[in-house]
C-alpha cells in the first residue's frame, strides 16, 4: 500500500502513528536513524485505509519484531518542523503500548538494538527520566511530556520550526 505522505515544492505532509513503550523501571524506548543526530519515539507512516492502531502494531512488528497491545491514545499532535530541506507538517497519534503476552522488549540494558526499515538502519535505546530531559529528542514537547503522560487524550501543537 501507499504511505500517507505528500510533498509539494518545499513542503512535506505526513500522517504518523507513534508508540510509547516504558519498561519496568520507567525508561522510555527511543529510536533514531543511523544518519540522524536526534532521537524520536518509534512509529511510522499510516497507509491509506489503515486504522491508526493497526499501523502502530504493524510498525512495531516490522521494526522490532515485537507484538504489542495498544493501551490508549496519549497525544494527538500537530507537529511543524524542518527536515532534509523541507518544511514539514506532521499529524501524529501517539499511543501508549505494552508488549503482548510474554514478549520481550529488547534485551538491552545499556546498549542499543539495531533494525532496518526500508534500507535505513534504525538504532533503539532505553532512556531513563534524566536522560529523556537531556536528550536531543523530537518533537521537543516530549522531553517533559514523557515524564508524566496524560490520563486522557491531549491535543498538542508543537512548533520545532521556530527559533
Provide the residue ranges of all domains of the chain, joining segments of one domain with +. 5-159
pTM, to two decimals: 0.91
Instruction: List the grid coordinates of 92.
Output: 501524529
Each residue's pLDDT expressed in tens, for the chain with a length of 163 residues? 689 999 999 999 999 999 999 988 889 999 998 889 999 999 999 999 999 999 999 999 988 888 999 999 999 999 999 999 999 999 999 999 998 876 566 655 445 566 666 678 888 889 998 999 999 999 999 999 999 999 999 999 999 977 5
Choices 3.90.79.10, 3.20.10.10, 3.30.565.10, 3.40.50.2300: CATH for 5-159: 3.90.79.10
What's the CA gap between 76 and 71, in Å, rounded? Answer: 15
What's the CA gap between 9 and 116, in Å, rounded? Answer: 29
DSSP string across 112-132: -EEEEETTEEEEEEEE-HHHH
Amino acid at each position: 500500500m501507499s504511505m500517507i505522505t505528500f510533498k509539494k515544492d518545499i513542503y512535506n505532509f505526513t500522517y504518523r502513528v507513534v508508540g510509547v513503550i516504558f519498561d519496568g523501571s520507567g525508561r522510555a524506548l527511543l529510536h533514531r536513524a543511523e544518519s540522524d543526530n536526534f532521537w524520536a519515539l518509534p512509529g511510522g507512516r499510516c497507509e491509506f485505509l489503515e486504522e491508526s492502531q493497526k499501523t502502530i502494531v504493524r510498525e512495531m512488528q516490522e521494526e522490532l519484531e515485537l507484538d504489542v497491545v495498544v493501551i490508549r491514545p496519549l497525544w494527538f499532535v500537530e507537529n511543524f518542523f524542518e527536515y532534509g530541506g523541507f518544511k514539514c507538517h506532521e499529524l501524529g497519534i501517539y499511543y501508549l503500548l505494552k508488549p503482548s503476552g510474554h514478549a520481550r522488549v529488547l534485551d538491552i540494558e545499556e546498549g542499543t538494538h539495531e533494525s532496518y526499515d526500508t534500507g535505513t538502519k534504525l538504532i533503539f535505546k532505553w532512556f531513563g527520566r534524566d536522560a529523556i530531559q537531556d536528550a536531543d529528542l523530537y518533537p521537543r514537547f516530549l522531553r517533559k511530556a514523557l515524564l508524566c503522560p496524560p490520563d486522557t487524550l491531549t491535543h498538542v501543537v508543537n512548533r520545532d520550526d521556530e527559533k
